[in-house]
Amino acid sequence: MEVRVRYAPSPTGLQHIGGIRTALFNYLFARSMGGTFILRLEDTDRTRYSEEYVKNLFDSLAWFGMDWDEGPDVGGPYGPYVQSERFALYAEYAEKLVSMGKAYRCYCTSERLEKLREEQTAAKSGSGYDRHCRNLTEAERADLERKGVKSVIRLKVPLEGVTKFHDHILGDIEWKNEDVNPDPVLLKSDGFPTYHLANVVDDHFMKITHVMRAQEWIPSTPLHVVMYEAFGWDHPEYCHLPMVMGEDGHKLSKRHGSTSVNEFRSNGYLPDAIINYVALLGCSFEEGRDIYSLADLAKLFKMDKLNKAPAVFDYKKLEWYDGQYIRTKSEAELAALCLPYLQASGLVGEKPTEADTKRLAAAIPLVRERLSFVKDAPDMLRFLFADVEVANPADLIPKKLDAAKAKALLEASLGFIPAIETESDEAMEAKARAMAEGLGVKLGDLMMPVRVAVTGTKVSPPLFGSIRALGTDAALKRVNRAIALL
């Protein structure tokens, strides 16, 4: 059987981690099975629709490298892939259910439904439609039609018995029909379909074999199964994905940190790192292995390895992944990734000069092993692109030593700094160590004031490399300036 799966978001918001994970598992399943990955726009909610969200959907998937085989822009044999372009089909199939006696017209006014809700709330009785119009006589119906009363089409959910379906992750699921949403609207009076109708009709006609979606859609599934049965169609296989939680056990949301793809992007996260991490949220691949490219994941994915238990989104772990992927970048790639952040912080102009480019090339080896996020590059590299000052002269003084000693140490360093240009780090370290011994201090105490003088901060990339990247002349100037402060 050819596998056909779809990612079917509603363009009513920006793409976020939860959606991306749903898209990813569908994508991986399709690719691992040599199947088809379909993108479908469920844009029936026109009030919350925005063109911007559609664009964001395409951009986000493309950024992650998830390509789709059929979809709104690329077309395909079962299109259109935009629900708002398929309204005639939904109306036709809603009517079909009515004529088959599986759905009915409901003429209730919004006032009546509102009153019903109030009564239910007051009586603390069940909620939902009371099926009033399910039992109208032919004569009553004809009368309402003649008067031109507007109607919606509702699904006839069986009053008794159970609806069963199998979920690939959760196993056999059984719902008492009395607990299923009583007769939900399929087609509104303005001809707009609801999610349930459009979703089922599309999955059928697009020949979807597996529905992989978030667990929050489980309550809709019995309704969908009732509809498939009413139409006499086979329903797709179901696979409801485990929830994604924040560390506090609540559903992942803004409160926990960035969740939208845009935020991750503008904060400089690498797409490969996000994909790698998100794939492991609720799924396992190989024992004892952490790093997977999208292509690896597509090869290794197995639906059987999806977990039942909710997954916890750990920002620290994602940070670790981001760092890992930074280390896989070539120096040129990493320079290109860091550049926009250096520009945004004003350290490099919009048009980098030759000197900027050279300095950046020298800087990358210093940060490659230490960056978790490219957006942190400006903080780590400020001293290379700006003539940093020592904000607080006390920072120049090693613990347990005084200003006079710090001054002496800085003066001594003037003697070995020029050699950094030509000598190896090992040779320099030996030199500095010998000098520190001669001065009766630890190596760290000698290096610390130099680090502060040159980089303006107590934490910096490795000092000799930093001075080499800056140039020894500039370094000497800064050390002299620091000496004057003491």
Q: How far is the CB of 295 from ligand GLU (least distance, A)?
A: 25
Tokens read off for 22: 């749903």
In the list Zn ion, ligand GLU, none, the entry touching 133 (Cβ below 5 to 8 angstroms by class) is Zn ion
Stretch that binds ligand GLU, among 2-10, 58-66, 236-244, 255-263 (CB under 6 A): 2-10
Q: How far is the CB of 122 from ligand GLU (least distance, A)?
A: 33
List, in sequence order, every residue forming a beta bridge with 464; answer none if it has no partner. Answer: none
Instruction: Provide the 3-class DSSP secondary structure of residue 269.
Output: coil
Q: Which of 176, 254, 299, 358 is catalytic?
A: 254
| Interface with ligand GLU (CB under 6 A), residue from 3, 4, 5, 8 | 8
8 versus 108: smaller Cβ distance to Zn ion: 108
List, in sequence order, every residue forming a beta bridge with 193; answer none if it has no partner. Answer: 187
Closest to 364 (Cα-Cα) out of 344, 387, 341, 389: 341
| Interface with Zn ion (CB under 5 A), residue from 108, 153, 279, 446 | 108
Phi, psi of 38 (to 5 degrees): -115, 140
DSSP E strands, 215-362: 237-241, 244-245, 311-312
Tokens read off for 417: 């700094």
Cα gap 448→219, rounded to integer Å = 62
The answer to whether 196 and 186 are in contact (CB under 8 A) is yes
Binding string, residues 22-51; x marks residues near ligand GLU by CB under 6 A: --------------------x---------
Stretch that binds Zn ion, among 107-115, 217-225, 406-414, 442-450 (CB under 5 A): 107-115
8 versus 252: smaller Cβ distance to ligand GLU: 8
Considering the rule CB under 6 A, would residue 199 count as an interface residue with ligand GLU?
Answer: yes
Stretch that binds Zn ion, among 83-91, 130-138, 286-294, 386-394 (CB under 5 A): 130-138
Side chain identity at residue 15, one-letter code: Q
Cα gap 77→96, rounded to integer Å = 24
Question: β-strand 4-7 against 36-39: which pairing, if any?
Answer: parallel
Stretch that binds Zn ion, among 28-36, 100-108, 157-165, 211-219 (CB under 5 A): 100-108
Cα gap 278→275, rounded to integer Å = 5
Considering the rule CB under 6 A, would residue 228 count as an interface residue with ligand GLU?
Answer: no
| Interface with ligand GLU (CB under 6 A), residue from 3, 4, 5, 9 | 9
Q: Which residues bind ligand GLU (CB under 6 A)?
A: 8-10, 42, 199, 213, 217
